[in-house]
Structure 1
Amino acid sequence: MAAPREEDPDGGPALPWAQAPVFSYSERDLIRSGVRWGGAAGSRFDAALRSAWDQRMSAGCFRYRLPSAGLPSRRLPGPRRFLAQLNPQRATERRPPQDIRSLRQPFEPERFNFTRIPAREVVFRLRREAGAEAQAEAVLVINVSPLERGHVLLLPEAARGLPQLLTREAAMRALELLFLSADPGLRLGFNSLGAAASVNHLHLHAYYLGQSLGLESAPSRPLLAPPAAGGRRFLPVHLLSEPPGRGLLLYTDGGDLARAALTLHALCALLLRRSLAHNLFLCRGCPPGLPPARPACRLGVRAVLWPRAARFGPKPLGQPFAVALCELAGHLPVYNPQDYRSLTEARVLDALGSHLLPEEQFSQLLEDVSQMLKE
């Protein structure tokens, strides 16, 4: 049954998702065990998302079609095993990025934002059933320039017109979305302003990638030793041990989602106070520490946050790929065939490292993070 039409908060025309179907879920839909590569085909959420996304691809709602056999992909030689994919149309057909000038740039309703998309781009509204902490309705919309199959944007509290600053509500929605899926290939992420975000309206990316990434089991070490690791309020924070490193790792098995969302939000707020841009990547993964004996197992969710110096203005030309959430995680959408064929692990590590904080500045930041965790 169609939902009643709703107007935007200022009494304007109906929002594009006003009559979109609703996907309702509850605590019992969250999948906290049994997720592994080669395991179950998917959950109720996976089936609903894939079906709606495929329908829109068939209807021509995207700026380009993905190959039915999948994008050309290759593993780069080397211990990191980066995954390169040739996707030139992502560079040429996507919507031009907005002029971003500040990490805290206010939402500007007169510029493009997701209240202006056509209704056909809306996948469904997300609604958590009563009995849990009250949440505003979120929305999933297709990314019309997709990285991979199922590429959507998660819009938490979409009608409020929030700028691209990660809220606690947004972090909670992202974590719940991953736990709604039985597919370890579902990935989520957030680009802040100054770190490749192209639209200043709060959103996160989500997409399916049917190949594993090293980040899912990459070794790490705790920032603080117990009992001070996370205090009473926050989850413990770990540090990635392998190059390019300089990333903050959180892990949750799903039993402490509110605390995980609070920690992510607090870390992002700290970075903003230090005028640092950031990228966040969330995926099913192994507990922190050394690589596990059973690397196929993906019991919980890893969330990795990379602080970086903010960069504004046009992206430099001639680069084989941008550096944003998926590239830092080891998934490299490459723009042209020559770079796709010639790209090496050393070149990737150089590109990624050039966007992250220098070691000295990162070490100084860790002192602030350590102090926060002890609160």
Structure 2
Amino acid sequence: MAVPQNINETSHLPPLSNGCDEQSRLSVGLGVLDFVYRQEELRVKGIQWQTSESGELCPPLLSRFDCALQSSWKQRMEQGLFRYCLGDLQTQILPGPLGFVAQLNVERGVQRRPPQNIQSVRQAFDPQQFHFNKIQPGEILFHLCRDPGFPMALQCTEVLVIINVSPLEWGHVLFVPEPTQGLPQILMPGPLQFGIEAVMLSTHPGFRVGFNSLGGLASVNHLHLHGYYLAHKLPVEIAPSQPLDPSGHIHLLEGLPAPGFLFYIDEPGPKLEALVGRVCQVTNYLADQEIAHNLFVTRGAPPGNPPSSLTYSGIRVILWARKSRFGVKEGEAFNVALCELAGHLPVKTSQDFHSLTETSAVNLIQQSLLPPSQFLQLQEALVSLLK
């Protein structure tokens, strides 16, 4: 499971290429551009990391979705709509078997919006607090919509794609489903399926989607998922796992500092809809039990032992149950949320970035985990829940 121990001075995405035509990417809706996609655009197999003869990752071919997101995101950066100019982030692969990707992102630690006052995983939406109906119109990139001929009909029919004004990495966006409904930060099937389908729409293996619950470092109590590009492999893509039930509906992810629950899908359609239902059944249970959680969606290998090659044939949905934390704790090298549990560590200060080791990172991550006895009880409860 080890990742090559390369150290890069910066980490960035390649410029738009592959014949992307700005005029053909989006159609005009009611004041906001629409990105309408068809089921045949959802690609699961055949997307993988490409390496050069020197072992460096090569720029991937970009899909229609990638072109639309990256070009409009870059335009908003040029317009000065972010809290800071992201630039290229200093990046290193921490020495050790896990292959953590550490990035120095000082501005995010300083400039990001302070988290809201949250006291419960199931806290109600408060229209007096900041929410995504209060953003500037220019922060909206487009509506993500299914073509009318799409065979599946979920309650959530469209998602607003907006910039994260305090980006973690290049292309960092938020998926906000039905924003005017004022939905609290509790995962729902429709929005989750949109998030997984967004990963399938991208042909960049480093485009990931995630969710932080309240108490799991979500800073805004208005339903949203994160999406962003990271041009590095992560340990969760190939970490081994073992099935927890005979049907293989849920697996235990192993070999990482934070054991997680793994769900896997290798095709869109009814199987994806069933997986989404199982994941949300689990997250609803966690919310009812006031257990904070983080979720990460990435292309990856099937469950089981580590693969012999980096050919990814499906989508991994990884769910971590963790200790609740309300507010951001100062003085730590990084906060533990969805990307940190996956092995991507945005570090706040130069001193911490240069002194961080795999051991110190693991220790910090494990401080956020449930006690082993509670985790074992939860594991048994979830297996019973999904029977």
Query: Same fold by TM (over 0.5)?
Result: yes
Match of 2:361 among 336, 340, 348: 348
Match of 1:293 among 268, 291, 308: 308
CA distance in 2, matches of 1:263, 1:65: 39
Q: Is 1:54 aligned to 2:68, yes or no? A: no
Q: Which runs of 4+ in 1 moved over 3 A?
A: none
Partner of 2:297: 282
Instruction: Compute the displacement of 1:136 (Å).
Output: 1.7
2:98 is aligned, of 80, 90, 96, to 80
Distance in 1, Cα, partners of 2:312 & 2:107? 32
Match of 1:23 among 18, 35, 55: 35
Tell me if the contact between 1:239 and 1:245 (Cα under 8 Å) persists in the aligned partners.
Answer: no
Cα distance, 1:40 vs. partner? Answer: 4.3
CA contact 1:246–1:362 (8 Å) conserved in 2: no
Deviations, residues 241-264 of structure 1 (Å, cap 9, x unaligned): 113132101111124110111111
SS of equivalent residue, structure 1 residue 215: helix
Q: CA separation in 1, counterparts of 2:280 and 2:84?
A: 34
The 8 Å contact of residues 107 and 201 in structure 1, kept in 2 or not, is answered as yes
| Displacement of 1:293 | 1.1
Amino acid in structure 2 at the alignment position of 1:26:
R
* Residue 161 in structure 1 maps to residue 187 in structure 2: no
Q: Alignment RMSD, CA only?
A: 1.2
Equivalent-residue separation in structure 2 for 1:50 and 1:317 (angstroms): 32
Distance 2:161 2:368 in 1: 30
Matches of 1:252 and 1:267, distance apart in 2:
17
Where structure 2 has 5 or more consecutive residues not aligned to the other structure, the ranges are 1-26, 51-58
Query: How big is each residue's C-alpha offset from its partner over 1:212-233, in whole Å with a ceiling of 9 and x where there is no partner?
Result: 1011001111112x2xx35xxx
Give the 5 Å matches for 1:303-314.
303-312=317-326, 314=327
1:41 CA drift (Å): 1.2
The unaligned stretches of length 5 or more in structure 1 are: 5-18, 231-235
Larger CA deviation: 215-224 vs 198-207: 215-224
Distance in 2, matches of 1:104 and 1:86, equals: 33
Would you say 1:199 and 2:220 are equivalent positions?
Answer: yes
**Letter paired with 2:325:** R
Equivalent positions of 1:215-364 (< 5 A) are 215-224=236-245, 226=246, 229=247, 236-255=249-268, 256-295=271-310, 297-312=311-326, 314-364=327-377
Give, in whole Å, the separation in 2 of the partners of 1:205 and 1:140: 10
CA distance in 2, matches of 1:254, 1:339: 41
Q: How far did 1:359 drift?
A: 1.1
TM-score where L is the length of structure 2:
0.88
What amino acid sits opposite 1:339 in the alignment? D
Aligned-residue identity in percent:
47
The TM-score, its normalising length taken from structure 1, stands at 0.90
- Match of 2:329, SS state, is coil
3-state DSSP class of the match of 1:279? strand
